[in-house]
């Protein structure tokens, strides 16, 4: 088994452990479907900015210790973990999220305001990705940037911008409610 597979499996295992812990913590709280949807919606509003900051801080450590083109197993594990986290965050942005909750809870959490906020966040993510792509293009005039590095930079800034925007819009919506 190579380092990429191990990193990928480690990332998936971490996601699974977090999901199990969250479900275990909520096991004894009797809530109606509406109460649970409200609770999850507020929790999502608090967690999105934190997830974006964690995501960006991981990228800072990744880019500060590049191997200079040679393949290092630790770098492969970092890339694998980043890829898993990126896919999970993108899936959370593109769907209703809360995949382990019943359908009626997911439907209540995904109301029209949440969908509008998510669409606005995705728009910001796209615009930040394009601005970052322009920045990387300009950077290539002065320094060598590999395709993998460019993809990594562009996706990281786009995903983080979308998470921050969605979190900010959701927090603002809950303050006004």
What is the pLDDT at residue 122?
95
| CB-based contact 47:164 (threshold 8 Å) | no
Over residues 143-150, mean pLDDT: 88
Phi, psi of 29, deg, nearest 5 = -100, 105
Query: Which tens digit of pLDDT belongs to each residue from 107-116?
Result: 888 889 989 9
The mean of the pLDDT values for the chain is 83
**Residue boundaries of the structural domains of the chain:** 3-176
Closest alpha carbon to 8 in 83, 63, 58, 108:
83
| CB-based contact 51:163 (threshold 8 Å) | yes
Apex 84 CA angle, 79 and 88, nearest 5: 145
What is the pLDDT at residue 1?
67
68 φψ region: left (φ > 0), alpha (ψ -120 to 50), beta (else): left
What is the pLDDT at residue 68?
57
Query: Which tens digit of pLDDT belongs to each residue from 61-95?
Result: 666 665 555 556 667 777 777 888 899 899 888 88
Query: pLDDT band at residue 26, thresholds of 50, 70 and 90?
Result: low
What is the pLDDT at residue 84?
85
Closest alpha carbon to 151 in 79, 88, 77:
79
- String of b and e for 82-104 (b: at least 16 CB within 10 Å)? bbbbbebbbebbeebbbeebeee
Give percent above pLDDT 70 in the chain: 85
pTM of the model: 0.78
Over residues 47-51, mean pLDDT: 87
Q: Coil, strand, or helix at residue 28? A: coil
What is the pLDDT at residue 49?
87
| CB-based contact 28:97 (threshold 8 Å) | no
What is the pLDDT at residue 162?
94
Q: Report the C-alpha gap between 121 and 74 in whole angstroms.
A: 33
Over residues 20-48, mean pLDDT: 80
* Residue 57 in tokens: 């801080």
Over residues 23-47, mean pLDDT: 80
* Residue 29 in tokens: 């709280």
DSSP, residue by residue, 102-133: -HHHHHHHS-HHHHHHHHHHHHHHHHHHHHHH
What is the pLDDT at residue 136?
94
Over residues 102-129, mean pLDDT: 90
């Amino acid at each position: 088994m190579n380092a990429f597979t191990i990193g990928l499996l480690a990332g998936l295992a971490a996601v699974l452990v977090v999901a199990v812990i969250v479900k275990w913590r909520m096991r004894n709280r009797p809530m109606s479907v509406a109460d649970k949807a409200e609770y999850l919606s507020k929790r999502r509003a608090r967690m999105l900015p934190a997830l974006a900051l964690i995501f960006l801080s991981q990228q800072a450590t990744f880019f500060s210790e590049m191997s200079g083109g040679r393949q290092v197993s630790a770098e492969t594990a970092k890339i694998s973990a980043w890829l898993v986290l990126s896919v999970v965050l993108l899936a959370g942005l593109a769907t209703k999220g809360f995949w382990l909750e019943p359908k009626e809870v997911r439907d209540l959490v995904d109301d029209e305001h949440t969908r509008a906020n998510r669409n606005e966040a995705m728009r910001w993510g796209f615009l930040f990705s394009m601005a970052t792509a322009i920045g990387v293009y300009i950077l290539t005039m002065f320094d060598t940037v590999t395709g993998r590095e460019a993809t990594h930079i562009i996706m990281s800034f786009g995903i983080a911008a979308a998470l921050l925007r969605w979190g900010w819009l959701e927090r603002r919506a809950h303050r006004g409610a």
